[in-house]
Amino acid sequence: MLRKIALLLITLIVCTTADAADTVSVSSPADQDLKELIGLYIGTYLSAADEGARDSRPILLRVVAIDPPAGYSQALYSEMRHDGASGDIYRQSLLVFDESPGRTGNTMTSLAFTDRQAAAELIRDPGLLAAGHLSTTAALPPGCTTHFIREGDSFYGRIDPDTCVITGKRGDIRHIESQTLLRRDAIEQLERGYDDKGQLLFGNKDGVRYVWPRIDNADIPQAAAQPQP
């Protein structure tokens, strides 16, 4: 009798464990898309000189996976530098994603770092943030998350200017729009700002996105010396 009970308990334990394993292994369509989206995001990119943000200088964009902060299972560090790897930092961000189990899509939040030079070491040491050596702060208000949708083999993300509203340095209201297209061979981006009446304040009026073609790490340029005034 005891032997039968023991066998029954073992059978129940094995079946329960198998069922749990099957449950964990099943990922939602949003989870599958997020995995692919992040894979497309990671990489090294270099814009053409005429698509830089300052004086026709190219911008090097690098996106690397880093050890995530508490509350997330994955995170990215994004860095833009003028001219090349040792150029001055144009922009840097911590990119984190909504990982809620019941979500039906994917959204991304961009955070800023309080110490830009210290954060730049994430390129070489992806564990700095998780180890508590860096601090972040909100880059934009809550309504400024990027919502991604699949477009074939690519992912298109957009910040809606209707919900992304900030106050300018002069106290004026600004609506911010951002577009990101993650392709296998490039990243395309566009940012535009509008006043409270919908008039364009900055950005390409024709909606043409800047293009950063993907390059190999071996092709990363060093920053070119700039002429002295």
Q: Is residue 96 part of a domain?
A: yes
Domain coverage including residue 92: 28-216
Average pLDDT for runs of 10 along the chain of length 229? 45 44 66 97 91 73 97 97 94 97 95 97 97 96 96 97 93 95 97 95 90 93 59
Residue 52 pLDDT: 55
Cα(147)–Cα(33) distance, integer angstroms: 13
| Structural domain includes residue 19 | no
Domain-embedded: residue 12: no
Q: Establish if 176 belongs to a structural domain.
A: yes
According to the model, what pLDDT value does residue 54 have? 56
As beta bridge partners, residue 95 has 76, 110
Instruction: Give the CATH number, domain containing residue 101.
Output: 2.40.128.590
pLDDT in tens, 67-115: 999 999 999 999 999 999 999 999 999 999 999 999 999 999 999 999 9
Q: Which residue, among 170, 146, 169, has the nearest Cα to 159 in the 3D structure?
A: 146
Question: What domain count does the chain have?
Answer: 1
Cα 95 from Cα 130, distance rounded (Å)? 14
